[in-house]
Structure 1
């Protein structure tokens, strides 16, 4: 009888965890950005202006009209972060890693050279999230909604965490 009770209790616990979505992979864990948090967005705008606008533009317009082709120095120009760019094509987690660690490390591209520095020693994690939240706050509603859905799908994808 105790075996049946313990088995029943274990199944109940599993069911409760599944229903409330505890733990990674519940579709919400990849959403780092807070574009509706006005304090975070205001901080992000200040940090962006001081650290990012010189390359990505005060209006998030990017460095060059043709930002998809290397410049004369062989490096890719800073892309726009508005709706014309590709920032919203990437999940929050990758955007955070690119900003913190740099493109080469975040994307595991060992031979990739970028003009964008890693901000790990420059900005706090909170400031990085604030900057990315500010950027996302400027996107049209349909792009933000699509980005939110992508983050939910990304959270459900299995990853090698070794």
Structure 2
């Protein structure tokens, strides 16, 4: 009799343990995956925030650069460095290239600081443009401030790529 009761209880325990249907198990796994995905997403968000791109310039330089840019560059490159022509790659009637946007949507980010300073100093004629030289118009700090201003419009991705290409040289 004891054996019969023990056997019956054992069978009932096994049945109860195995009573979870496959769809219940799938749902449980899905819930675990969703919870894990939510944790992973929030961790990635925190990681992105903690990996914010550190830039070479200060807010003070950007502020000065905004003034310098407005007085010396905006007429040709647009007030927010976004250009003033529809297609900066299309030559003008005189055969020169129009001023490109400097906000990260054209090619300025392909050039290191030294090259950007060279173009500011010597003008754009050597590159097929009409930009005048600013070597005697702006001092070194104003030139860097103008660069800081237009780089402040660059996305972190563009800025990081510029740095990887040796941009701060």
TM range (shorter): 0.5 to 0.7
Structure 1 gap segments, 5+ residues each? 1-32, 156-162
Matched, 1:69 2:90: yes
CA contact (8 A) 1:34 1:130 kept: no
CA contact (8 A) 2:124 2:130 kept: no
- After TM superposition, what 4+ stretches of structure 1 lie above 4 angstroms from structure 2? none
Residue 103 of structure 2: aligned partner: 82
Greater Rg over alpha carbons, structure:
2
Q: CA RMSD in A?
A: 1.9
Cα drift, residue 113 of structure 1? 5.1
Point out the structure with the larger helix share: 2
Structure 2 gap segments, 5+ residues each? 1-54
Cα drift, residue 137 of structure 1? 1.4
Query: Matches of 1:113 and 1:145 in 2, distance apart?
Result: 28
Residue 7 of structure 2: aligned partner: none
Cα drift, residue 138 of structure 1? 1.3
TM-score by length of 1: 0.65
Q: Residues 99-139 of structure 1: CA distance to partner in whole angstroms, max 9, x if unpaired?
A: 112234xxxx4xx6532001001111111011001111111
Query: Structure 2 matches for 1:3-14, cutoff 5 A?
Result: none
Equivalent pairs counted in the alignment come to 115
